[in-house]
Amino acid sequence: MTSFPAIPVTAPIRIVIMLFPRTKLLDVTGPLQVFNDAKRADGSAVYEIILTSEDGGPVETDAGVPLPSIPLAEAAARPIDTLLVSGGRSALEAAGSVALLAFLREQNGKTRRLGSICLGAFILAAAGLLDGCEATTHWEYAERLGATHPATTVRPDAIFVSNGRIWTSAGVSTGIDMALAMVEEDLGRKAALDLARDLVLYLKRPGGQSQFSGELQRQSRDAAGRFEALHAHMREHAAGDLSVPELARVMAMSPRHFARVYAQETGVSPAKAVEAVRLELASDLLEETNIGIQQIAVRTGFGDDERLRRAFLRRYGVAPGEYRARFGNGRAG
């Protein structure tokens, strides 16, 4: 993730979250909790969080829990630092609201940051605010966002995307990741990591990572679980022989039959699956350790750093060293 200089904080930073009927509850409360729990050393609030909607008043969420809000005009009466659009399937309908789109366009030149959670990206896009930008949204709707808004470059796998002042996050819980990244931008990395720890989050995930773990993707593709043991074998023997003949031997199948069945049932070739497993292991080592890149290449079956570099560029669009600079925790391994 790109590093940003921490901004000087005096008065609370004003965060406004825009709601609409049947918005997803967690799309609002996840980021809200992050901003609410960010405190200065003296315990005072870093952020002031305001919920707003077209007409104000209680807004019923998809979970049936109403959230209080003030009218758009009242929210705009004072300067807004960060304006976020909530998500949920009803965002597709809200993207046709003249009032919401006008409010976003009016605030676009005034706010320091503008962002969306989940399907809220459709509202930003409808307002023309994602034209020429990279963006993400819930994986089920990524293709639709790109088709209906071709001026937007959609990154379907990203957890969140920052184009400087325009931010978008993927489905549901990733709004928390994006909010933590905004806290990091405002207060620095240590403050964001401390906050993630206080919220008992497993990991403060960088934006460039995938919406899904590779293992979850493989489980989804291999619905019958036929290759579960094979995938475990790949992970355990990443540095060894993972050729089609060897994988076929593990499965007690002929190489030709194995390659055909595996591709039919998982949607990827054995070679692609092996490379994905090795890349995931390599990225884990880059994030969590200070092991040298050549050594990582050997440990994960790439053999040398050049093969690892080429694979990283294909998958992530960055070289291993740059990936470590963005996402590494700097811990010795």
pLDDT tens column, 64-101: 999 999 999 999 999 999 999 999 999 999 999 999 99
Q: What are 125-166's pLDDT values in tens digits?
A: 999 999 999 999 998 899 999 999 999 999 987 888 999 899
Q: Which residues of 163-175 are buried (b: 16+ CB within 10 A; e: fewer)?
A: eeebbbbbbbbbb
* pLDDT band (50, 70, 90) for residue 173: confident
DSSP string, 63-98: TS-EE--EEHHHHTTS--SEEEE--STTHHHHTT-H
Yes or no: say if 153 and 136 are a contact pair by the CB < 8 Å rule.
no
* pLDDT band (50, 70, 90) for residue 328: confident
pLDDT at 333: 41
Q: What are 297-301's contacts with CB under 8 Å, separation 24+?
A: 298/239, 299/238, 299/239, 300/238, 300/239, 301/238, 301/239, 301/240, 301/242, 301/274
Q: Which domains are delineated in the chain?
A: 13-198 (3.40.50.880), 214-327 (1.10.10.60)
Mean local confidence (pLDDT), 188-214: 66
Side-chain-side CA neighbours of residue 155 (13 Å): 24
Mean local confidence (pLDDT), 6-14: 71
The SS3 assignment for 290 reads coil
Q: Does 317 have pLDDT greater than 80?
A: no
DSSP structure class, residue 166: E
What does pLDDT average to over the chain?
Answer: 88
Share of the chain above pLDDT 90, in %: 66
DSSP structure class, residue 253: S
pLDDT at 224: 59
Give the gyration radius of the chain's Cα atoms: 22
d(CA 244, CA 257) in angstroms, rounded, equals 10
- Hey, what are 288's tokens? 């969590």
d(CA 236, CA 234) in angstroms, rounded, equals 6
Mean local confidence (pLDDT), 235-253: 95
Scanning the chain, the segments in alpha helix (DSSP H) are 25-37, 72-75, 91-94, 98-108, 121-126, 142-148, 174-187, 189-198, 214-221, 228-236, 244-250, 255-266, 270-288, 293-299, 305-316, 320-327
- Hey, what are 122's tokens? 């459709």
pLDDT at 190: 81
pLDDT at 295: 96
Q: What are 36-44's contacts with CB under 8 Å, separation 24+?
A: 37/195, 37/198, 37/199, 38/183, 38/187, 38/191, 38/195, 40/9
For residue 222, how far is the Cα from the chain centroid? Answer: 24
* pLDDT band (50, 70, 90) for residue 205: low
The SS3 assignment for 211 reads coil
- Partner residues linked to 162 by β-bridges: 167
- Hey, what are 186's tokens? 């405002």
* pLDDT band (50, 70, 90) for residue 265: confident
